[in-house]
């Protein structure tokens, strides 16, 4: 089966993950490829935000001279949550081993 071309708009982290997933899994449905693209975008956004936090520091001083968490840290957290949910929806986190988490009840 031919691996789909990497979509435009992905950066290095996203491209690498896109290629790795499609080399290990068969995703042929359009909605699955779109979800994979969204997961790849999350990885790119996480990398961008982590660079900002690394350059500017984890905490910033606001206009009231109070220390608070850098806004990019929230972006990192949000994108990690979204990434994990997409991976779970695609079923890429299931290995079939007994160590995996039990199915959700609700």
More confident residue, 26 or 2: 26
Provide the CB-side half-sphere exposure for 71 (13 A, CA): 2
Q: Which ranges constitute the DSSP H helices of the chain?
A: 12-24, 30-56, 71-90
Looking at the whole model, is its pTM more than 0.85?
no
More confident residue, 27 or 80: 80
What is the percent of the chain where pLDDT is above 90? 71
Residue 4 confidence (pLDDT): 80
pLDDT digits (tens, 9 = 90+) for 5-40: 888 999 999 999 999 999 999 888 889 999 999 999
What mean pLDDT value characterizes the chain?
Answer: 88
Q: Cα–Cα distance between 50 and 79 in angstroms, integer?
A: 11
pLDDT digits (tens, 9 = 90+) for 57-71: 999 999 999 999 999
pLDDT > 60? residue 83: yes
DSSP codes joined into one string, 10-38: --HHHHHHHHHHHHHS---SHHHHHHHHH
């Amino acid at each position: 089966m031919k691996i789909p071309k990497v979509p435009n708009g992905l950066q290095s982290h996203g491209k690498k993950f896109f290629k790795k997933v499609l080399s290990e899994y068969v995703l042929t449905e359009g909605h699955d490829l779109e979800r994979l693209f969204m997961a790849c975008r999350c990885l790119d956004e996480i990398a961008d935000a982590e660079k900002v936090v690394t350059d500017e520091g984890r905490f910033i001083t606001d206009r009231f001279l109070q220390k608070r968490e850098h806004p990019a840290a929230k972006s990192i957290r949000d994108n990690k949550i979204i990434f994990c949910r997409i991976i779970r929806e695609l079923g890429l986190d299931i290995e079939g081993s007994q160590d995996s988490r039990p199915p959700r009840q609700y």
